[in-house]
A = this chain, B = another copy of it.
Amino acid sequence: MKIIIDAAGGDHAPLEVLKGAAEAAKEYGAQIALVGNEAEIRKASEKNGVPLTGLEIIHADRGFPMEADPTSVIKENIVTSMGVGLKKLADGECDAFVSAGSTGALLAGATFLVKRVKGVKRPVIGTTVPNGIGRYYFLVDSGANSECRPEMLMQFAVMGEVYASRIMGIESPRIGLVNIGSEDTKGTQLQLDAFALLKKSGLRFVGNVEARELPLGGCDVAVCDGFTGNVILKLSEGMALFFIKELKRMFLSGAGTKVAAMLMKGQLSEFKKACDYKELGGAPILGVQKPVIKAHGSSDAKAFKNAIRQAVVCCEKDIIGEIARGVAEQKAGAAEKGRPPRK
């Protein structure tokens, strides 16, 4: 198994990528290649004493610029680290690709270079979001498709179900449709039509789920358009930061509360860890023919290492094959149900 990682993507590239990759190479036994400017990679390695033992280097002139038109990654697949990495993935020279670079470019490149799984309308970004200590729900779409059709949401549910059960280890995941009320008649036409599709999908559909229920464990896979999903993801992050900030302020407000902080040290660090995206790996782009993992832009070595682990697990568990089967079965099922009754 070979995983390529974008050495020029993210706020802390290339050093943190190198560190994470070196640790992952040691720990997971997978072959790991760094794609990026070779001179820069070697310089960062020497300067910081991070040996490149066990890591392959694939040269690309430069990283993909964050501010560039995302679709330009498709043409620039011999110049930019992301383009080169995705091209090698498409050509079968590796098994998965990890990048903390531009989400839009990674999505465009994954869609048009690596290409979609047969039958998939639109690739989607899913994110694991904490809803307890060591517990998570899977949010699809968390930002790929701002505008969606009902059949797209249906497929997000199918792909999300596969990811939640195979990778997150949730048995028989409960699929919820994010909506502004729990009644069947709530939402815009998109939710109404998606509800009807999900109801007859054969998935374990638990109906409409209000955003209030998401952090309280209301469902295991939360299905929505990418605009709503992105709002949910970012508000969850912001609320976590808000609470941690307020908690800190409270603990530092007096002598007694400082003692309290010391007594709570273990619990607080466990909780902070549970809320920390770095522990979770990255966000998978689902619906393309090879595993592509989007690592958080501010990833450090640990986050990169975990994103690589996630790519390894996606390969081992054949997530692509499972998604292809899931999408095909759902399509066949829909055709079956859509067939007029025999006379």
Chain A residues within 8 Å of B, Cβ to Cβ: 131-133, 143, 146-147, 178, 180, 187-188, 210-216, 226-228, 230-243, 245-247, 250-251, 253, 256-257, 259-261, 263-264, 267-268, 271
A133-B246, A239-B215 known; A188 and B231 CB under 8 Å?
A: no
Contact B267 A241 (CB under 8 A): no
Q: Which 3 A-B pairs have the closest CB atoms?
A: A260-B260, A212-B238, A211-B235
- Can you sample 26 A-B contacts with CB below 8 Å? A133-B246, A146-B187, A146-B188, A180-B226, A180-B230, A180-B231, A188-B227, A210-B238, A211-B234, A215-B235, A216-B241, A228-B228, A231-B231, A235-B235, A236-B239, A239-B239, A243-B243, A247-B247, A256-B263, A256-B264, A257-B263, A259-B260, A259-B263, A260-B263, A260-B264, A263-B263
Inter-subunit contact B268/A250 (CB<8 Å): yes
Docked pose: A132 CA to B234 CA in angstroms: 18
- Known contacts A146-B187, A146-B188, A250-B271, A210 near B236 by CB under 8 Å: no
A267–B257 CB distance below 8 A: yes
Q: Are B238 and A143 neighbours in the complex by a CB distance under 8 Å?
A: no
- Rounded to whole angstroms, the CA-CA distance of A243 and B133 in the bound complex is 11
A241 partner residues in chain B, CB cutoff 8 A: 212, 215-216
CA distance A242 to B274 in the complex (A): 13
Across the interface, do A227 and B187 meet the contact criterion of CB distance under 8 Å? yes
Q: How far is the CA of A210 from the CA of B234 in the complex (A)?
A: 7
- Chain B residues contacting A147 (CB-CB under 8 Å) are 188
Query: CA–CA, A251 to B237, complex, Å?
Result: 23
Bound CA–CA A233/B239 (angstroms)? 12
In the complex, are the beta carbons of A214 and B238 less than 8 A apart?
A: yes
Least CB separation from A231: chain B residue: B211
A261 vs B241: C-alpha distance when bound (angstroms):
21
When distances are taken between beta carbons in the complex, the residues of chain B under 8 Å from A246 are 132-133, 271
